[in-house]
Structure 1
Amino acid sequence: MSPQPGEANEAEGVLNPASGRTPDGRLHLLPRLVAKGNVSRIGLAEVMLTDGVPTGVERRGVVLAPDEGWERGANNAGVEDPRTTWIPSLGVHVMTYVAYGPLGPRLALAVSENLSTWRRLGPVHFTYQPGLDTDLNLFPNKDAVFFPEPVPDPNGRLSYAMLHRPMWDLSWIREGEGVRLPAQITDDRPGIWISYVPVGLVEWDITALVYQRDHRLVAMSEFPYEDLKIGAGPAPIRVDEGWLLLHHGVRGEMVTGTDHQPHVHYAAGAMLLDQADPGHVLARTAEPILSPETADERDGIVPNVVFPTAIEEVDGLHYVFYGMADSKIGVARLDRLV
């Protein structure tokens, strides 16, 4: 998928899609559409298949725009980088997205039964946790995604779990505030965390999904291709050995004061999470499994980026949909899950 000429909502790119199937079984993407001024909306586009292979899309309009006050700031606005998870036990697609509002990038949730009509559940709230020595609600957060079924929390309770990535630099929202690390965290690079909501609370009221608790660090940067930071990609997939999680790793140099980083390199890796304790990493790739190689991945709004955000099965094969240089959307076939 590439920006459509003359379409104002796509003037600065189409990228980082979520995905899902409508009740009739048709495969769709939910791309981030970026208008002039870096204002993002979330669209809907049906995936066209040629001999069972995704080869293009047909646009179905916009399904979420920055219409709420907490999605709009004085100098910024957007609903960005959606991830969707179909959760059969709830009968809905759960969307996590970044609301770029008055306090910078914050997480928010919405749910849908058909991918076309979404109901906002609101901003995510992280409950106070003794011993963590911080309030996660103070910090910008991105790259959130839910598991597709209940998993055990640290106390063994079946819960709906969400991966996310807090960022400790409060300069996003208050110039000069700097980095404020929790007491037990010594590395200020953004990493992957997990939080939970007990199943019973969500079954009683689905809006309980926004009240996350039992926060734990899952993984930090470990290998050279992840030197700056890591973040979760599509919803984890159940495999025999546990949960397969695709993630992105970033290396290079960050430039302060800009949204578009020209000197970074985004690649995709994979982790295997423990089925009995999804906050525990069993194995991970020391080298990337997908790196920027094509012209569309190397040249764009942010050069040298592959950013996986969706994975779908088509005729027994798994296809990964990903952002290309913050400008277009590509697809790659994942031949082996483990």
Structure 2
Amino acid sequence: MVIRLIYLLACQTFRWLALLARSDVSKDAEILMLRHQLAIARRAQPRPRFSWSDRAVMAALLRIVSKQRRTQVALLVSPRSVLRWHARLIAWKWTYPSRRPGRPPKPEALRQLVVRLARENPGWGYRRVHGELLGLGRKIAASTVWCILKQAGIDPSPQRVDRSWAAFLKAQSSAIVATDLFHIDTVFLRRWFVLFFINHGTRRVHIAGITRHPTSFWITQQARNYLMDLGDHAKSIKFLIRDRGAYFTDSFDAVFQAIGVHVLPTLPRVPRMNAIAERWIGSCRREATDRILITGERHLRLVISEYAKHYNQHRPHRSLGQRPPDLLTKPEPLTTTDNTRIHRHDRLDGLIHEYTKVA
């Protein structure tokens, strides 16, 4: 083992003496070439790939390093690689840009608008899209609209119309309102009942009232108050979904039937028939009432009203494209940057956080 150590030290000494005999330019070029190869090998890729700048640097350094040293140093490139790079450079120099025949392509913004109109309106053909564009002041030929839709992979109108149950139910949701009653137990073991209405189309929640004794007279009066609050919008309601509780009497149904609403009682022990209302009850319990000790009616009204405001004005909904019910008609917010300040608004003493951009 000692003899091997002496042998290695002697080899390193001779190599050091050989380096002293070489010029500084040759050694610096070799060091730069090896460092550049190491930088290329460290890139996060399956295999090292040379960019045009890497090819230029390696070709220049190979000219400085002697032929004898090239064979002794482990290189990532070979003479054939350099010749191939040179051939590509010559081909690139003498390749002239060719101009495609025909008319110039339409602006990308116009192409995106055509595709957007076609996708948002499955029943529109290219002629209908062409007419809508003319109404927007965009002069474009109908054949161009057809070509844009074909290049985007959009089928003709009869083939892309969605006739699924999901699309059918979504189209009817704006005329459906559901109602339900759920209870909250206070810290003093008193039970209060909350009556609410929720629109299937907008997912907007209306808290009708809170009481300890949900009698049929009280329920009916809350229904009248709800229709009065809606005003002219009540005419858009066609169906009302409710459960078969004893408090939903014929007088309650008569309030809605008087304006042409068809009341649909759910089947016994089938809560999925009123799934959207049940989902809101679960959200309210998980995010608010189950995390607070309710002391009384006044406290309960405060908690329920604050959560309803959060639900309608800020909480995102997947069925609404991650937008709250009250902001459906407003334009989408602008994309934030790294310098955009974010403000946090607390509800229920910090139990619920809302985040908005600072203007």
Please give the range of the TM-score, normalised by the shorter of the 2 chains. Answer: under 0.3
**Larger % of helix: which?**
2
Higher RCO (C-alpha 8 Å, min separation 6): 1
- TM-score, normalised with respect to structure 1: 0.21
- TM-score, normalised with respect to structure 2: 0.20
**Larger % of strand: which?**
1
